[in-house]
Chain A
């Protein structure tokens, strides 16, 4: 196990440069401890140590300061890449609460948990951005490739990484809430979400599910060394599941040449509200993709992660896949 004292020692330079408040130091140590101990059984002790060094290297390069906002109406945490600062605000309210019915004690516990998740998500993102001469070389497993992917912050692929970061935090913290998230105004359809995410509630469970179909160990190696492993990571997945497109069994509304790109495309359309009138179709198509993938994997609780109809008499058009 990689202990907190070792992590604290390695963070000394970072703390001297950024001079954060004490509880922020605790936040950083806590995140790195939880993260490295989560990945150690997957990648091994030596690799986890090397990955920790890269996380700290990226922290030192990517954060110059922590900035507490003067005023905001909700708990908040967001990394500003240009300013190289992590901006945050702490309050006893969360704008996403308006649609929930919680008593004051439940609300308190929820706020604390959600703020921790928010900060962890930003740390997960920040520790996976590698820059050189001020330019982003890689963003998690994304590195500029021949298929048009690019690692720029706030670009399409950065948006995908935002979902993966949310999911990674869910895994690290072992979150297992089932929060009903309606995807249409009439509340005819919904998906479940493991927490009330600011941007990713409609897509978080799809990526949680997707991680079950991706090579988990290779995922962490691709994030750590994308130059060496990113293409292998994506190609291995595409080779395994190419039949989803090549079989021609289902007419997907979005068109991509490979399954990995197709899933990316659907996630972006849903998350970024692109052509929102097709949102239900996007969810149905994405559910079909995972159902077809599961012909090989046979996950037993697959349907939990997919689109649901509020009316049990309404059969979804992917049910027979």
Chain B
């Protein structure tokens, strides 16, 4: 009974990903920092810390 009700999520087409199967994130965003984040060499928390404390706010 539950399965009958839980199959219809709303569909929105943001499927541009299909056009970029062989593209790496750096080419998509042209952003070294984002690339570092995706490669797990920086964390979100370290970026927040840098913005607040290293920039001496």
In the bound complex, CA of A57 to CA of B53 (Å): 34
Q: A5-B38, A50-B10, A108-B53 are in contact. Are A12 and B5 (CB under 8 A)?
A: no
In the bound complex, CA of A26 to CA of B31 (Å): 10
Number of cross-chain contacts by CB at 8 Å: 113
Please choose the segment from A79-87, A111-119, A183-191 that sits at the chain B interface, where 4 or more of its residues have CB less than 8 A away: A111-119
Q: Does A218 contact B (CB under 8 A)?
A: yes
Closest-by-CB residue of A relative to B13 is: A53
Q: Are B14 and A8 in contact (CB under 8 A)?
A: no
Residues of chain B within 8 A (CB-CB) of A75 are 52
Closest-by-CB residue of B relative to A60 is: B14
Q: Are A224 and B10 in contact (CB under 8 A)?
A: yes
Q: Does A253 contact B (CB under 8 A)?
A: no
Bitwise interface map of B from 16 to 57 toward A, beta carbon under 8 Å scored 1, else 0: 110010010100110111100110001011011111110001
Residues of chain B within 8 A (CB-CB) of A25 are 29, 31, 33-34
Q: Does A172 contact B (CB under 8 A)?
A: no
Q: Are A13 and B16 in contact (CB under 8 A)?
A: yes
Q: What are 12 A-B contacts defined by CB distance under 8 Å?
A: A9-B25, A10-B14, A12-B29, A22-B31, A25-B31, A27-B44, A30-B37, A57-B12, A111-B52, A221-B6, A225-B8, A228-B8
Name A residues whose Cβ lies closer than 8 Å to a Cβ of B.
Answer: 4-6, 8-10, 12-13, 15, 22-23, 25-27, 29-30, 43, 47, 50-51, 53-54, 56-57, 60, 75, 90-92, 108, 111-113, 115-116, 217-218, 221, 224-225, 228-229, 232
